Amino acid sequence: MTLTWQKIEEGTADADIVSIRTTARRIVEAHETTASAWIVTGKELKRLKSTLVKDTPRGDNTRIGWVKAFELEPPELPFGRRMAEMIIAVHDFFDGTRVPLTNLPGSWKALYYLATKVNDVALIEKMIAEQKITPLSTESDLRKFGELRFKPKPSVKCSRSVAQTRTTIWHHLRDGLDSLGNMPLPDDVVTLARQFDKQNNGAVIEARLDRTIEWLTEFRERWRSKQHG
């Protein structure tokens, strides 16, 4: 039976299947061995992950969810969950940066190495300008460069600075949860946000929304698991 949006209800296993198949189709359509294509793929996977978030702390067994999306038989997605998480990390690092995507490697493993092990936009730009990083670079090629392997380690902060950082994080968490919990009705906030973000067509909110929901969902799960652990 063919699933259509008219026949299914959001927040159900059928809706999850539609989301998974839509993402798989978009990935296939965008597939090229280029950095731009991998970043688009990461964006689609990140959107799918946020769509498949279950509403309850311990999960809703009627939903498919992010983990089981990669365990379906026959497989719906063209790669496994570990690779999907790595491609999302590539998207999160490179999307919106000033790094020229056409000069980045076409290998997703090379991109992941740059995003997570190097994690330095200025250094990556420098090595692109020196033509040490090219679209043909592989992960093995990048590992040979001393500039990438032996980056200076950040200086160790004194205990006072660490304590101040922890206090700052606590204040951000407490005040942030207070702010979100005391917001007006969502419909009213959407109307207001659309007015302020009109010039960007909602881009300011979109750039932050999925990341924030994902973090809050993971925080809630970890927080409650510690309470009951």
Among the residues of the chain, which ranges form H helices? 13-30, 35-51, 65-68, 81-94, 108-112, 121-129, 139-143, 146-149, 159-181, 186-196, 203-228
How does pLDDT run across 115-133, given as a tens digit for each residue? 998 988 999 999 999 999 9
Contact 64, 11 (CB under 8 A): no
Instruction: Say yes or no: 142 and 45 in one domain.
Output: yes
Instruction: Say yes or no: 43 and 61 in one domain.
Output: yes
Residue at 1 is within a domain: no
How does pLDDT run across 197-226, given as a tens digit for each residue? 776 777 778 777 877 888 888 888 888 887
Q: Which domain holds residue 190?
A: 159-228
Instruction: Say yes or no: 130 and 174 in one domain.
Output: no
How many separate domains does the chain show?
2
Q: Classify the C-alpha dihedral 94-97-99-103 as positive or negative.
A: positive
CA distance 131 to 135: 10
pLDDT > 80? residue 54: no
